[in-house]
């Protein structure tokens, strides 16, 4: 069977129809910030493979660590067993995450980390003899994953999961904060959140937020002041704060974790994506001693979850190595460099008639169009320009690997500008 036909006829790609006419490009290899296609063309990556490949592809240090680990073991069940990679990763995460987060549950994807966080919150309140606290408050335009509980706290109307809204558990949604990052939060945003908490607190287990950056739901950067007040309101109304740092963790916004912009710590935090430097799938849900102890002392006395590939040794090794690589560099100055270049370069787009907004935070640059893009045409135009940029809806954005140099980032930015000017 012809390889091209096999993909077209039998492989379902993300958020795509089997009959889709969108181009699919075969990658032969990857190195640094470059993808080499099977036809020989090289593309500069602007997406870090959906935001996770922060050190670039085929990194010598990452490769060596994984080669060493695979000779020992690639996987072992985590029930009744443990291993050095998991222990080392746990030490590192406890050290670098906000102080109250000392208990860690490993899973194998960001969506599952969110599911675990929600189960954790519900089981916590159940152990405190408050089983009526089982609902969640989330933001409009939120996105927390593709599994069922995660879908239920993603925007049910404008989000990508609206088809399933009638079969998902009904959660409570508040308006997306209108206050932009860098601004003080306007009173209306806070009043809206407080009134919702006041009305529903007796039935709410947790408020779940993507801190500072709402990712796949619209790439919106909101006020750190909102996040700070959200934490205070959760304490006031006896509701847990769950932060989904899956897209924002490990430096993407200029802080190691986005909650640091507001100088707050959540009760539960989800991490994933860049956790392993993009090498392997791994996620984690972190929580406090109070929550873990309460669950232990309630019924059934254990936390009811256990993925087959929990704390996979290869993935944990990748994570430890990636974190050490990041922290061994002046990563904050590097993110500031990327932010400055994105800000200067993308500002040219705002003059275009088809552009609604331009916004930059850390190593994230967003151009919001007035109308949804023609995915087929714009993808082909970007590949023709020698870059891999994959927009969605009205959003064309860049989230490059942190190792990208000035010249390659300049090519990404100018390619984006040139393509937009012709579409």
Helix axes 60-70, 313-327, angle to 10 degrees: 150
What's residue 1's pLDDT? 42
User: Among all chains, which residue has been given the structure tokens 């509701």?
Assistant: 239
CATH of the domain at 100: 3.40.640.10
Instruction: Catalytic residue, from 273, 279, 381, 402: name it.
Output: 273
The beta-strand segments (E) located in 53-203 are 103-107, 135-139, 172-174
- Of the residues 309, 327, 345, which one is the last residue of a structural domain? 327
Q: Are residues 266 and 378 in the same domain?
A: no
Catalytic residue status for 143: yes
Q: Are residues 268 and 225 in the same domain?
A: yes
Instruction: Catalytic residue, from 7, 15, 198, 377: name it.
Output: 15
Q: Are residues 123 and 142 in the same domain?
A: yes
Phi, psi of 346 (to 5 degrees): -75, -15
Ordered strands of the 283-287 beta sheet: 103-107, 283-287, 268-271, 240-244, 204-209, 135-139, 172-174
Catalytic residue status for 397: no
Q: Are 194 and 238 in contact (CB under 8 A)?
A: no
Catalytic residue status for 184: no
User: Among all chains, which residue has been given the structure tokens 């870090």?
Assistant: 48
Question: How many Cα neighbours within 13 Å face the side chain of 414?
Answer: 8
Distance of CA 252 to the CA centre of its chain: 10
Q: Per-residue DSSP letters for 315-350?
A: HHHHHHHHHHHHHTS-HHHHHHHHHHHHHHHHGGGG
- Of the residues 303, 327, 351, which one is the last residue of a structural domain? 327
Range of the domain at 242: 72-327
Catalytic residue status for 290: no
Overall domain count for the chain: 2
DSSP at 203: G
pLDDT tens across the length of the chain (423 residues) = 456 689 999 999 998 888 998 999 999 999 999 999 999 999 999 999 999 999 999 999 999 999 999 999 999 999 999 999 999 999 999 999 999 999 999 999 999 999 999 999 999 999 999 999 999 999 999 999 999 999 999 998 876 677 888 899 999 999 999 999 999 999 999 999 999 999 999 999 999 999 999 999 899 999 999 999 999 999 999 999 999 999 999 999 999 999 999 999 999 999 999 999 999 999 999 999 999 999 999 999 999 899 999 999 999 999 999 999 999 999 999 999 999 999 999 999 999 999 999 999 999 999 999 999 999 999 999 999 999 999 999 999 999 999 999 999 999 999 999 999 987
For residue 200, the tally of other CB atoms under 10 A from its CB is 16
Q: Are residues 273 and 167 in the same domain?
A: yes
Instruction: Catalytic residue, from 57, 106, 124, 143: name it.
Output: 143
Distance CA 279, CA 352 (A): 38
What's residue 199's pLDDT? 98
Token pair belonging to 27: 């990658």
What's residue 3's pLDDT? 66
Instruction: Catalytic residue, from 244, 267, 381, 408: name it.
Output: 244
Q: Is 340 domain-assigned?
A: yes
Give 172's strand partners: 137
Q: Are residues 43 and 142 in the same domain?
A: no
For residue 128, the tally of other CB atoms under 10 A from its CB is 14
Distance CA 411, CA 254 (A): 22
Q: Are residues 294 and 341 in the same domain?
A: no
Distance CA 115, CA 58 (A): 31
Phi, psi of 135 (to 5 degrees): -95, 170
How distant, in Å, are the alpha carbons of 49, 217, 244, 394 from that of 159? 21, 6, 17, 13
């Amino acid at each position: 069977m012809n390889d091209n036909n096999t993909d077209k006829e039998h492989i379902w790609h993300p958020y795509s129809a089997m009959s889709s006419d969108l181009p699919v490009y075969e990658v032969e290899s990857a190195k640094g910030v470059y993808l080499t296609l099977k036809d020989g063309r090289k593309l500069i990556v602007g997406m870090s493979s959906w935001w996770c490949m922060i050190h670039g592809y085929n990194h010598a240090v990452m490769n060596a660590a994984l080669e060493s680990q695979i000779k020992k073991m690639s996987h072992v069940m985590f029930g009744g067993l443990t291993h050095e990679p998991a222990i080392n990763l746990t030490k590192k995460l406890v050290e670098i995450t906000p102080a109250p987060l000392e208990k860690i549950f490993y899973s194998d994807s960001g969506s599952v980390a969110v599911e675990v966080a929600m189960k954790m919150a519900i089981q916590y309140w159940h152990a405190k003899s408050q089983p009526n606290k089982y609902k969640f408050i989330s933001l409009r335009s939120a996105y927390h994953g593709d599994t069922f509980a995660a879908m239920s706290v993603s925007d049910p109307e404008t989000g990508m999961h609206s088809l399933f809204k009638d079969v998902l558990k009904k959660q409570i949604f508040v308006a997306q904060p209108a206050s932009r990052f860098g601004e003080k939060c306007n009173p209306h945003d806070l009043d809206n959140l407080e009134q919702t908490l006041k009305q529903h607190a007796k039935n709410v287990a947790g408020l779940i937020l993507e801190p500072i950056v709402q990712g796949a739901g619209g790439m919106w950067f909101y006020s750190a002041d909102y996040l700070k007040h959200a934490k205070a309101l959760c304490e006031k109304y006896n509701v847990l704060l769950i932060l989904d740092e899956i897209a924002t963790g490990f430096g993407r916004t200029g802080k190691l974790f986005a909650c640091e912009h507001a100088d707050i710590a959540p009760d539960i935090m989800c991490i994933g994506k860049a956790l392993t430097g993009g090498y392997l799938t791994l996620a984690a849900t972190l929580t406090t001693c109070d929550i873990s102890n309460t669950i232990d002392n309630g019924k059934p006395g254990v936390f009811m979850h256990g993925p087959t590939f929990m704390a996979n040794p290869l993935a944990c090794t990748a994570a430890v190595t990636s974190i050490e690589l990041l922290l061994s560099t002046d990563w904050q100055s590097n993110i500031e460099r990327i932010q400055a270049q994105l800000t200067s370069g993308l500002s040219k787009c705002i003059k275009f008639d088809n552009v609604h907004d331009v916004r930059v935070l850390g190593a994230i640059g967003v151009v919001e169009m007035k109308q949804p893009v023609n995915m087929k045409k714009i993808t082909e135009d970007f590949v023709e320009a020698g870059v891999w940029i994959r927009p969605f809806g009205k959003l064309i954005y860049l989230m490059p690997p942190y190792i990208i140099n000035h010249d390659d980032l300049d090519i990404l930015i100018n390619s984006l500008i040139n393509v937009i000017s012709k579409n």
